[in-house]
A and B are shown apart, each in its own frame.
Chain A
């Protein structure tokens, strides 16, 4: 039972797509985004891609110990972020959402600080790299345990409803996450409470090596929404405008009191699962090559070019600027130096009990 009638039809047979592979606008409605916004989308997508490339250098040079490549997720990331009221709504992301961090406006130096696990990390070097978060921007700090953030997202959304804050909780995850009990428990609760929660699957068709067919027998992830009585939207997540418009529609629908929704953004992960993964063991290179031909950046650039908004001079200028900004932020983060050893004992509890005090002293004595 779907509770309202919407502009985008849930449970569509084909993924919702507004840009053709050649970058033509094929939507049944007028594009109402201005030039600056469209260019902003593109800037964020390119920044996200270049950040991904920078991370590869960080891992190769041993400056970081773990990366989760997000290339291929950029259109989804930018669409999600720009559809939110950034800084007002809450985001519950997962580890592959670095492009989302870029588009949410997390300062680059914080992103690099977290990747280095050093004193520039606002979370004090506690977690492995690729686990961002920002209290200032209402971005719930990423947790490695898959799907464990979904019930908290439901809870935040329930709080938003009870406290009438006019916010929405947006929660992202991969297709693998949809198999965890927490996923079902969280979505069910949010749905029952008619809470303003939007659950977003960035479906790249793999959970490490386990392909979609071994993960679920459901035809689509969006279909699973049927079980919870909420709408499920299947979207071409390599199309930034489809990702943006559907997310915007669904977020505002939730904000207006219509309750939870599930959105499936179909993307592809071009890199391995992580820096610890060898993807040639489980997927053919030809599949990756074919997916690369559908690159979301290329598609959107074609769109901008056709509208006379972009050319190679603009492209070069943008890339030079981003490369410079990334390098400057990295250097600034590196300059912050190591996280002091005794930070290990902070924030375990609101105050340090005797046993942590003793253990802290032991380490300080040892290092003296």
Chain B
């Protein structure tokens, strides 16, 4: 088994899917000759040629809209948006076309496509290279939304996304691209979309997170363990659909829950998950569900690290929940 970074796992998934199915095409800004600005598509154009790995003009509307058309026509497009922050010129295509094609045509036309994008902060990118826009997508009926946090998951989930019959927004925390390494099998394996992972078992409190905040969440759980508190840690992996069953089972046992994500707090995935927990487990909760999130400001450059949930911020919030 090879040890891989998250970005290498993405590259491997794309390579394997292109080899498996010749209808899979990869395209986006700089994905061909340069291999992507983060090198997610490195080597693919050399291997599969410029017809299957296409350097596009600088237009997210064209990229996402073209993916819809290709998918409707029978291909399996995997489009790259260079940064999640730049999905917005293509947002209309994602929301008006991709998300609603199956519904508006009564299931006659579909758009099985993947839109990959690096997301999140912590790389000194300022507010147009740091945003976590998953809530925008989750708010749109007709899309699936995945946010990965490990190399192993990235490969298995991306392969599932390519084979999925719906449009999948696939978000990759750029802060983790090269920060983590783990063993990733060479063989073909899939991780189902919509299934959370339990990263750590514990009975005192449930910590729910996804994407890059998993790093700080796991660190906080370790610190809590050192102080004798056993936290169960859930990685949502898919934020739409999110794994309600795994979440509710855990919280029903622990009675205490903290949800951590670096996306802004207002109308967020964290808000959705904690609201659902309150609705469904009101009687079993020992404390109100609490959110630790990014702030409701544009992502600031100078306070790059402070914006994201820090271990201290998570521990302070956990204390509030535990002491309630």
Contact = CB atoms under 8 A, between A and B. Distances in A.
Given A176-B58, A344-B307, A366-B316, A210 B29 contact: yes
Nearest to A178: B58
B33 interface: yes
A336 to B, nearest CB: 12
Interface string B227-249: 00000000000000000000000
A293 to B, nearest CB: 25
Nearest to B61: A181
A346 B33 CA distance: 42
Contacts of A341: 303, 306
B61 A127 contact: no
B296 A348 contact: yes
Interface stretch (A139-147, A229-237, A307-315, A323-331): A139-147
A208 interface: yes
A180 B32 CA distance: 19
Given A180-B59, A359-B296, A338 B29 contact: no
A130 to B, nearest CB: 10
A124 B126 CA distance: 12
B302 A118 contact: yes
Interface string A24-50: 000000000000000000000000000
Interface in B271-319: 295-298, 300-303, 306-307, 310, 312-313, 316
B225 interface: no
Interface string A190-231: 000000000000000001111000111000000000000000
B19 interface: no
A282 interface: yes
B312 A366 contact: yes
Interface in A339-368: 339, 341, 343-345, 348, 355-356, 359, 362-363, 366
Given A145-B85, A210-B29, A282-B34, A125 B58 contact: no
Contacts of A66: 124-125
Contact of B313 (A281, A356, A366): A366
B106 interface: no
B296 A209 contact: no
A72 interface: no
Contacts of A144: 85, 126-129
B104 to A, nearest CB: 22
Contact of A215 (B57, B266, B296): B57
A9 interface: no
Indicate the member of B56, B300, B307 with the most A CB atoms within 10 Å. Answer: B300
A126 interface: yes
A65 B122 CA distance: 12
Given A281-B34, A348-B296, A145 B265 contact: no
Contacts of A281: 33-35
A345 B303 CA distance: 10
A216 B57 contact: yes
A127 B297 contact: no
B89 interface: yes
Contacts of A359: 265, 295-297
Interface string A136-173: 00000001111110000000000000000000000000
A267 interface: no
B313 to A, nearest CB: 6
A276 B127 CA distance: 17
Interface of B is mostly: loop
A131 B29 CA distance: 21
Nearest to A65: B124
Indicate the member of A66, A344, A345 with the most B CB atoms within 10 Å. Answer: A344
B33 A282 contact: yes
B23 to A, nearest CB: 23
A341 B302 CA distance: 8
Given A144-B128, A281-B33, A348 B297 contact: yes
B37 A355 contact: no
Interface bracket on B? 35 or more
A334 interface: no
A348 B30 CA distance: 33
A186 to B, nearest CB: 12
Contacts of A98: none
Contacts of B316: 366
A345 B58 CA distance: 33
A179 B61 CA distance: 10
Interface string B76-108: 000000000110110000000000000000000
B58 A339 contact: no
A355 B30 contact: no
Nearest to A114: B301
A123 to B, nearest CB: 9
B62 interface: yes
A344 B306 contact: yes
A106 B32 CA distance: 38
Given A125-B301, A127-B126, A128-B301, A208 B296 contact: no
B124 A145 contact: no
A363 B306 contact: yes
Indicate the member of A177, A338, A355 with the most B CB atoms within 10 Å. Answer: A355
Contacts of A344: 295, 297, 300, 302-303, 306-307
Contact of B29 (A117, A207, A355): A207
A180 B266 CA distance: 30
Nearest to B130: A128
Given A66-B124, A143-B128, A341-B306, A355 B296 contact: yes
A126 B30 contact: no
A131 B126 contact: yes
Contact of A145 (B86, B296, B297, B312): B86
Contacts of B266: 355
Interface in A275-298: 276-277, 281-282
A182 interface: yes
8 contacts: A126-B126, A128-B128, A148-B89, A344-B297, A344-B300, A344-B306, A359-B295, A362-B313
Closest 6 CB pairs of A and B: A125-B302, A128-B126, A144-B128, A209-B34, A179-B57, A176-B58
Interface of B: 29-30, 32-35, 37, 55-62, 85-86, 88-89, 124-129, 265-266, 295-298, 300-303, 306-307, 310, 312-313, 316
